[in-house]
Chains A and B, each alone.
Chain A
Amino acid sequence: MSSVTTTAPATGSSPAALSLLWIAGVVLLAAVPFLAPNLQLLVNFALAKGLAVVGVTVLLRAGQVSFGHALFFGISAYIGAFVMASVPGMDFFGILIAGTLGAALAGLVVGLFVVRYRGIFFGMLNLAFSMIFWSILEKFYHITGGADGIRLTRPTVLGMELGRDAFELFLYYTAIVLVVGLGWFTIRWFASPVGQLFQTIKTNETRLEYLGISPRRAMLSGYLLSAALCGVGGILMATAQGVVTPEYVWWVRSAEMVFIAVLGGAGSVRGAFLGALIYEFVRTYASAYAGDVWQMLLGAFLLVIILFAPGGIIGIFERVFARGKGTS
């Protein structure tokens, strides 16, 4: 898929040529409903997941790994389902905002606790919070629908009732706009003073303290952003899927997000989307053509990437591109 090679970061030489490729990639994604309509839903899922993976990527920039970020993905999805169930005829943008705000709020509450921790403890605590929420979803069956989850009926769009096809098309382009917009915002945020301070946590946290800046506050801002990004991804996934289940919050889902982030290229926003696209393709086609061994294939794929291309797919591309530049 050629969009794979075009969503590269504008690092290295010739940023203009690279951003041109990056734009071409987005255009190609936008053309998917016409070129390959059967891939539309798949790409839509991948973009929704990709947004959540960007959330995980943000934390990776501070050297922190969360094994529970599916929590925010799930909270937002469940808020969407609850709002749709209690307010019939709710608008898509209504639940988008409600879900994202809910995820951000949850991010604030959880964040206040977890920003004090680093490394494995940070990861474990996040895992514990997500597992508590998962248990609640499974347990309080009469409210949450238990393991079967709740159906999320199709919302209206700016007051219009859309059929499935029209709605999916709308959702697809909304996802692309959100991916481009939020991706750009996150990259800008990394470059902003707050973002810079946030990333210092990875390299030298003590220095922050000497500068008189609270690392916790910097951490909290990044944590909020990551939770909100997961929230947007969750609500997109839930509306595309039409149903939310506790599986959204299960630890394997959180691990999958970290998996994709590393696959795409740890710390790279574009890599996150690239990773999500590739992951979704491999997963879908592996489960279709190699039913019994799709997990094994994905696991082997991940091993190969970690052992032989630790920079992730975006790293491979950068190398290839840099070499190409050198020879041409």
Chain B
Amino acid sequence: MKKLIATTALCAALPMGAFAQDKPDSLKVGMTTFLTGPASVFGVPARDAMDIMVQNLNDEGGINGVPVEVSYIDEGAGAEALTSEFRRAVEQGGAEVMFASISSGNCQTLAPLAEDLEVINFMWDCGTQRIFEEADYDYVFRTQANATPEMLAAVIYLLKTQPDFETLAVVNQDYAWGRDSWDIFRTALMQFKPDVEIVGEFFPAFGAPDYSTEISRLQALQPDVVLSTSWGGDLDTFVQQASQRGLMNNSTFVLPLAESSLERLGSALPPGQIVGARGDHYFLHPERRDDEDFKSFMSQYEDQTGNITVYSVFHASQALAALEAAYTKAIEENGVEWPSQEQVLAAMDGLEFQGLGRPVTIREDNQGIEAQLMGTSAQNGDYPFATLENIMIFDGAELTAPVGEVSTDWIETLGPEFVDEIEPTTFEN
């Protein structure tokens, strides 16, 4: 104990961080991710992938010869530990860039903190569209889409593939994401297809172990479509219980986050259900799967973890790609060995980078524009779990609320013709 504190105090006294323009020994990055708690289904794969990708990057000489060093902070250890660790990473750990975080709630806590600490922060996975719609940030960027394009892609895919459905019920987790995503989905659906009847809205508690009663009610209501934006164990439980009781025989499920559960669900996810991936994130990405870098990463990842990737791996790859792109661009633009923070910030403006999916660009409000992939589940025997067919990849720019507009207000200006105006790239599988 005493020793620990003494060491920390000593570290605090030492001069830290590199002077701008001097090449540092390493580029230190702090990444918050869930190593414990339910959301570790995203956090642990993202960390594993980040370790692999950082290793690969450093093997090739890092960024302009400077290796990247990532340290992880557990989002599952509670908000106090998270904020103090975040500060420690910046103030004592010498982190030049932070990747925070998975949870939208944590993003909302850490974004203003990063702004106060004047540290560059990439919101690498959280979905809430509110942050940039409610305030302007200089140091905070989002290296992926927000909830608006994610939900719009799901609505449009549903309307393009099953234009004639009449009734819909929703079963979402009872927390911000479940509520917000339903707000966006419902608003868009009502604009695009106002005659749809919403026959049931259920918000079982986050982490609920049992959906039997909800499923009984859904069987009595017989909606054409059942929407659930749940994820992780909750989604697994809901889909398993629904499939055990044959609910999917009569209703089509729309599951915008089910890409992350495909492998775990195995044969329990019947064919014909709509699956999304919070971006163009799919281990068999139709445009990317034949690319060398994509293939080699996927096999590396599978070797090390024994699993296929989930979307958080793609989000991690985008954060790292953004880091590399921003520093490289800043170095080139300024003709320096190593950029200052202002130079990196300047390079973020309109930055384009490519992780494992399609290229992503940073918009002027610091929001990333990311493509969206939706598909329909198929059990074709290639894998012991469902894969996707009838895939559509949507361009992110058309689906994201324009700069300075609030998502739900913007969606209310759209009409049914919007669905036809959007022309995604389609793939059979």
Interface residues of A (CB under 8 A from B): 1, 35-39, 41-42, 45, 135, 138-139, 141-142, 145-149, 151, 163-164, 237, 241-243, 245, 247, 278, 280-285, 287-289, 291-292, 294
Contacts and interface: CB of A to CB of B under 8 A. Distances in A.
Contacts of A237: 80
B84 A138 contact: no
Q: Which of B72, B79, B85, B108 has the most CB of A within 10 A?
A: B79
A285 B108 contact: no
A37 B12 contact: yes
B306 to A, nearest CB: 19
B5 A39 contact: yes
Given A242-B109, A243-B79, A243-B105, 12 more contacts: A36-B12, A37-B12, A145-B176, A146-B176, A148-B105, A241-B83, A245-B79, A247-B79, A284-B81, A289-B4, A291-B36, A291-B72
A274 to B, nearest CB: 13
B12 A241 contact: no
Nearest to B116: A164
Nearest to B77: A287
Given A141-B175, A146-B179, A284-B81, A292 B108 contact: no
Interface secondary structure of A, over-half rule? helix
Contacts of B12: 36-38
Contacts of A294: 77
8 contacts: A36-B5, A42-B84, A45-B80, A148-B105, A243-B105, A287-B77, A288-B73, A291-B72
Interface string B65-76: 000000011100
Contacts of B8: 36, 38-39
A148 B108 contact: yes
A41 B5 contact: no
A45 to B, nearest CB: 5
B88 interface: yes
A288 B81 CA distance: 9
Contacts, number: 105
B336 interface: no
B176 A147 contact: yes
Nearest to A41: B84
A164 B119 CA distance: 14
A280 B36 CA distance: 19
Contacts of B105: 147-149, 243, 245
Contacts of A285: 4
B9 A35 contact: yes
A243 B109 contact: yes
B179 A141 contact: yes
Contacts of A163: 116
Contacts of B113: 242
A237 B74 CA distance: 20
B176 A243 contact: no
A309 to B, nearest CB: 15
B158 interface: no
A145 B175 CA distance: 8
Given A35-B9, A243-B105, A41 B85 contact: no
Interface in B76-98: 77-81, 83-85, 87-88, 91-92
Residue of A37, A38, A138, A283 with highest tally of chain B CB at under 10 A: A38
B104 interface: yes
Given A141-B179, A145-B176, A288 B80 contact: no
A1 B36 contact: no
A281 B1 contact: yes
Interface in B1-54: 1-2, 4-5, 8-9, 12, 35-36
B176 A287 contact: no
A146 B206 CA distance: 10
Contacts of B5: 1, 36, 39, 281
A1 B176 contact: no
Contacts of B2: 1
A242 to B, nearest CB: 6
B83 A41 contact: yes
A38 B175 contact: no
A151 B87 contact: no
A112 to B, nearest CB: 29
Contact of A284 (B85, B104, B176, B205): B85
Contacts of B92: 38
A323 B127 CA distance: 59
Contacts of B35: 291-292
Contacts of B91: 38
A291 B91 CA distance: 20
B214 interface: no
Contacts of A241: 79-80, 83, 109
A202 to B, nearest CB: 32
B174 A139 contact: yes
Nearest to B130: A148
A237 B9 CA distance: 24
A147 B206 contact: yes
B174 A292 contact: no
Nearest to A1: B5
Interface in B265-285: none
B112 interface: yes
B109 A141 contact: no
A149 B175 CA distance: 9
B79 A141 contact: no
Looking at B87, B105, B206, the one whose CB has the most chain A CB atoms below 10 A away is B105
B9 A287 contact: no
Between A141, A149, A278, A288, the greatest number of chain B beta carbons within 10 A of the residue's beta carbon is seen for: A288
Nearest to A280: B80
Interface string B168-191: 000000111001000000000000
B88 to A, nearest CB: 6
Given A242-B113, A247-B79, A287-B77, A41 B87 contact: yes
A31 to B, nearest CB: 12
